[in-house]
């Protein structure tokens, strides 16, 4: 993830920043929302790697792994 993507996710969670980029006045709820967005993005990136890893018969295994990674958001 780029710095810009992380800042965008923080803003989606309700974080506000000073002109120098320091966060101001965040709540526990905002922090939890931010952590969920980060985890979701990281799971998807890992799943994409698994999706692209094998061809042929092994493809089924990589798809199963990718599905399991994506399913973790349900836990």
Over residues 19-69, the pLDDT tens digits come to 887 878 888 999 999 999 999 999 999 988 888 776 666 677 888 888 888
Name 51's Cβ contacts closer than 8 Å, sequence gap at least 6.
62, 63, 66
Helix, strand or coil for residue 51? helix
- Written as six digits, the tokens of 42 are 């990281």
Which of the four pLDDT bands, split at 50, 70 and 90, describes residue 73? confident
Q: Which of 74, 33, 65 is nearest to 46 (CA)?
A: 65
- The whole-model pTM stands at 0.71
């Amino acid at each position: 993830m780029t710095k810009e993507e992380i800042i965008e996710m923080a803003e989606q969670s309700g974080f506000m920043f000073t002109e120098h980029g320091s966060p101001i006045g965040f709540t526990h709820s905002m922090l939890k929302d931010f952590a969920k967005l980060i985890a979701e993005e990281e799971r998807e990136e890992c799943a994409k790697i698994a999706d692209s890893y094998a061809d042929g018969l092994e493809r089924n295994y990589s798809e199963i792994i990718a599905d399991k990674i994506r399913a973790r958001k349900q836990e």
